[in-house]
């Protein structure tokens, strides 16, 4: 009996036709990531060959010890989000670590389990964050997610103030597709805001944080739970009335308003006054955007949820608005439309062995430069300056850029420590102050590599 397999099928040549069904489990390493189990479906052919179409499934256990945790990239009510690399495949992930005692104390088990279920259901959508692994220890829960290295939409809005209509249209269209997909699964998102909207390395939208989702919401289903972020809450939620999936379309209108005008609708520094504005004040749209954009905002931010855009035909109704007339929706979902903005990701992890120019690092963790690169001279991690956007880590090797920085001094850079592993080495994340390019250096002490010691 001979066994052959390819990337998309497996053929088993049989000497005897009496073998009607064959079960094959083949274990192999793939990208150095545990064991794969291939499950096959037998299909007879006229050439006495069974072709097995398979579905890859993971068959291995992952633990917290399988990751190197580089830095904290986010904090929340129940824990932190770490940028981490898997020790075997070297890929970057965002690892959400939740503390069980906080969850239990606040009686939030239902929300945490809801987030996990939603992540499992939405694994195949291009604009929703993907769950790769989930596991737990005695006191913590771990969710290993895609790392969207383009940062939060909130960061880009803070930096740029407003977006032009083409860029705002592109983001709003991808958000709408994500919301429509959730609605098709009877899930209402309920927490659309710039902090929960990430950009991947290519500039596409990635929605994250499903802790406030409501499951089991069909087209006419309603609920009364009060939750969300004040600036983006629909008036029916504030009034604690019954609401449905159209709260997500209100949220889309609020985020679109912020992208076009720089602030959420009805915004006021006095939060109580802002909530009154959401409930009672008319929507005022200043000039500077197209009539189609203003009309879309008026229809998304309609206080009557029954008349709100999306109330009747959900995503299809939103897609048909003139503001989105230039969007080819099938190409958008296939990521065949180039994003109007691609994050500048020019950096890398780089390793060098240098001659030390100072004494060995003392106990208070001073990290000094190594010749010939004079980048980190007299940098002390306890007195570091932080980058504007600490969410972004970059992976591109640019040799020309590397050569250009050799002659620069530490005054040209903002520097902070990503990771400290004893007094022997450190990882530094740097941004050039003038050209705003980013680099990451891992600087190991030569003493450690040579096995030398000093009293």
Secondary structure percentages of the chain, helix, strand, coil, to 5: 30, 25, 45
Q: CA-CA distance, 4 to 92, in Å (whole number)?
A: 33
Residues 6 or more apart whose Cβ sits within 8 Å of residue 18? none
Concatenating the DSSP letter of every residue in 272-327 gives HHHHHHHHHSPP---SSS-HHHHHHHHHHT-S-TTTSTTTTTTHHHHHTSGGGTT-
**Hey, CA dihedral for 193, 199, 203, 205, is it positive or negative?**
negative
Q: What are phi and psi of 323, to 5 degrees?
A: -60, -30
146 is catalytic: no
* Active-site entry in 66, 68, 146, 191: 191
Q: CA-CA distance, 97 to 136, in Å (whole number)?
A: 9
Calculate the alpha carbon distances from 185 to 117, 125, 178, 188, 206 in Å: 12, 12, 11, 9, 18
| Chain Cα centroid distance, residue 263 | 23
- Strand, helix or coil at 354? coil
Which residues are documented as binding site? Answer: 96
Which residues are documented as binding site for ATP? Answer: 96
Residues recognised as catalytic:
191
């Amino acid at each position: 009996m001979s066994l052959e397999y390819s990337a998309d099928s497996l053929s088993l040549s049989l000497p005897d036709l009496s073998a009607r069904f064959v079960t094959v489990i083949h274990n192999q390493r793939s990208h150095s990531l545990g064991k794969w189990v291939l499950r096959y479906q037998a299909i007879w052919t006229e050439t006495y060959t069974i072709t097995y179409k398979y579905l890859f499934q993971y068959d291995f256990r992952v633990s917290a010890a399988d990751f190197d945790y580089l830095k904290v990239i986010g904090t929340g009510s129940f824990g932190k989000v770490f940028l981490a690399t898997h020790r075997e495949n070297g890929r970057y992930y965002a690892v959400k670590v939740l503390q069980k005692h906080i969850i239990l104390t606040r009686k939030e088990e239902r929300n945490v389990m809801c987030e996990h279920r939603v992540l499992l259901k939405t694994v195949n959508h291009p604009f929703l964050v993907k769950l790769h692994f989930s596991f737990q220890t005695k006191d913590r829960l771990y969710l290993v997610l895609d790392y969207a290295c383009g940062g939060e939409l909130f960061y880009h809005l803070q930096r740029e103030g407003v977006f032009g209509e083409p860029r705002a249209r592109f983001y709003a269209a991808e958000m709408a597709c994500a919301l429509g997909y959730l609605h098709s699964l009877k899930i209402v998102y309920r927490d659309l805001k710039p902090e929960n909207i990430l950009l991947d390395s290519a500039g596409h939208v990635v929605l994250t944080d499903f802790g406030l989702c409501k499951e089991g919401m069909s087209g006419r289903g309603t609920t009364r739970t009060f939750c969300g972020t004040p600036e983006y809450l629909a008036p029916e939620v504030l009034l604690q009335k019954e609401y449905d999936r159209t709260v997500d379309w209100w949220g889309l209108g609020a985020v679109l308003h912020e992208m076009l005008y720089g602030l959420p609708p009805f915004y006021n520094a006095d939060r109580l006054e802002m909530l009154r504005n959401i409930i009672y004040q008319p929507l005022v749209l200043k000039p500077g955007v197209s009539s189609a954009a203003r009309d879309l905002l008026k229809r998304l931010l309609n206080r009557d949820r029954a008349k709100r855009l999306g109330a009747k035909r959900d995503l299809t109704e939103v897609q048909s608005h003139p503001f989105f007339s230039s969007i080819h929706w099938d190409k958008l979902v296939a990521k065949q439309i180039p994003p109007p903005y691609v994050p500048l990701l020019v950096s890398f992890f780089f390793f060098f062995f240098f001659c030390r120019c100072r004494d060995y690092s003392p106990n208070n963790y001073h990290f000094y430069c190594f010749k010939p690169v004079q980048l980190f001279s007299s940098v002390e991690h306890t007195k570091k300056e932080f980058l504007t956007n600490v969410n972004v880590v970059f992976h591109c090797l640019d040799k020309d850029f590397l050569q250009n920085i050799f002659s620069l001094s530490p005054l040209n850079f903002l520097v902070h420590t990503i990771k400290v592993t004893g007094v022997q080495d450190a990882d530094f994340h740097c941004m050039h102050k003038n050209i705003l390019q980013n680099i990451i250096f891992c600087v190991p002490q030569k003493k450690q590599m040579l096995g030398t010691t000093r009293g």
